[in-house]
Chain A
Amino acid sequence: MNPLILGQSSFDPSMLEGLLLLLVKLIFLFGSGLYILFALIVLRQVYIMKNTITTNFSAIILTMAYLHFFASIGVALLFFSIL
């Protein structure tokens, strides 16, 4: 019995594929997490700038920032469910 031949015969390519997909999944989840952080910074900055300069348009920009933030959360949840 040659151990090398034994090792080659026990190698399962689907396991490697599964590991790679898990890695890609983790990258996607990490990416969406980072994006939520970015959206939160945008929201915080809009609040700060809204107080720095007050215009009639500030409310619309704040709404946009909130929509962006919720969209980023929605995408993260989507990734959790489909991946």
Chain B
Amino acid sequence: MPEVFAATNKKDKAEKKVVHRHVDEYSEVLRAERPCSNHLASFLAKPLAITFDAQDAGEHILLLLRQHPIVLVKRFFIILVLLLVPSLFAGIDLLAFLPGNFQFAALTLWYLMILGFTLETFLSWFFSVYIITDERVIDVDFISLIYKNVSAAKIDNIEDVTAITGGVLQSIFNYGTVKIQTAAADTEIAFESIPQPSKVTRLLNELILEEEKEKIEGRVR
């Protein structure tokens, strides 16, 4: 009797052995993509040499997204105008009432503030990322220098995925928002202004299907 019991246990263990398929085996979207090593890109499929702090052992980043660079154009023009302000007002000589050293200090402080604004713009764009792994979706919002928001949802908890593309710019440059409804307490995760939203939606649907298959086939992680 104990021998039979032991044999059954062995069989169960063999059946429940972790068989986690590689993403290329089940995702048509990512099969067509080459691993990306450009860390400044806004659509990084199968990114190389990128990890995040809450990453589990064996969890792989499938897609890392940032806002489309076109959203930075507005800020770029603001910076350009700010840089040109001293030259534009050179004829009026607004600071003529101040001695030369004070005028120089004012100009230095002006350019330093523009440098700070540029750096803050870049950091907000670079560190606000949306990560899709083979287990979760993670939204890292670096809203301002003193406010950071990280939310995550398991793929199993995703109930609905919607891609929204509206407006002339979004249609031309193929970017938009992907809304992910989850069963978790934080009900919605929004990937805002990301490139190729339809591709992201297709990938998420493929991942949801794979998770369901894993459950049915008992391929537990």
A binds B: yes
Task: Please report A residues at the B interface, Cβ cutoff 8 Å.
Answer: 21, 24-25, 28, 31-32, 35, 38-39, 41-42, 45-46, 48-49, 51-57, 61, 64-65, 68, 71-72, 75, 78-79, 82-83
Task: Write the nearest CB–CB distance from A21 to chain B, whole angstroms.
Answer: 7
A52 and B116 contact, CB distance less than 8 A: no
A-B contact count (CB 8 A): 87
Once bound together, how far apart are the Cα atoms of A1 and B115, in whole Å? Answer: 60
B53 and A24 contact, CB distance less than 8 A: no
B50 and A41 contact, CB distance less than 8 A: no
In the complex where A24-B102, A54-B51 touch, is A41 in contact with B146 (Cβ < 8 A)? Answer: yes
B120 at the interface (CB under 8 A from A): yes
B39 and A57 contact, CB distance less than 8 A: yes
A24 and B50 contact, CB distance less than 8 A: no
A39 and B116 contact, CB distance less than 8 A: yes
A53 and B146 contact, CB distance less than 8 A: no
Task: Write the nearest CB–CB distance from B146 to chain A, whole angstroms.
Answer: 7
Complex interface: chain A residues within 8 A of B106 (CB): 28
Task: Write the nearest CB–CB distance from B37 to chain A, whole angstroms.
Answer: 8
Complex interface: chain A residues within 8 A of B40 (CB): 57
